[in-house]
Amino acid sequence: MAWSYSEDPASSNRDAVRFLIQDTDSTRQLFQDAEITYLLAQEHNVYMAAAAACDIQAARQGAIKSKSVGDLSLSYFGPEEWKRRATILRARGSAHQVLTAGGITVADRDSLQEDDSLLQPYFTLGQHDNRSTPTGESEKEQP
C-alpha cells in the first residue's frame, strides 16, 4: 500500500486531508493514499473527507486512552478527541459545501419544452405577455 505526503496541502486534496487530520508523519501512518482517495470520492469537500477520517480513527481506537507497563505510561489521542476534531471539521466543511436542490439543467429544460411529443403544461410563464386587441393589433403601451 502507498502512503505519500508532499508537505504542500495546496498541491492536492489528499495532502489537504492529511494536513487537516495531521497524518503527515511517515513513521506514524494513519491512512493509505487509496483510503483517503475513497473518502474524497464519498464526501463533498476536503473538510468532510477529513471529518470522516476522524470518525474512522475514533472507531479504530475504541476505548483505549492510555496504557501502562511498569514505569512506562503512554497516553493516546483518544476517540473523544477524534470525534471532537471531526465535529470541528464537519462545521468547516458545511460552510464550503455547494448546496443543490436537485432538478435539471437549463439546457435539459429547454429541450423538453421544445419536444412536441411530450405533454406540455397548461400554464406557462409569460403566457399573458402578448396582449392583442380583438382585431389582432397589438396594444400600445400606456405611459
Dihedral sign, Cα of residue 102, residue 103, residue 108, residue 110: negative
Q: What pLDDT digit, counting tens, does each position of 45-101 carry?
A: 999 999 999 999 988 877 666 677 888 877 766 788 889 999 999 999 988 766 666
- The pLDDT-based confidence of 108 (bands split at 50, 70, 90) is confident
Q: What is the pTM of this model?
A: 0.60
Average pLDDT, the chain: 83
Cell numbers standing for residue 22: 495531521
Please give the pLDDT value at position 37.
96
More confident residue, 97 or 35: 35
CA distance 76 to 61: 9
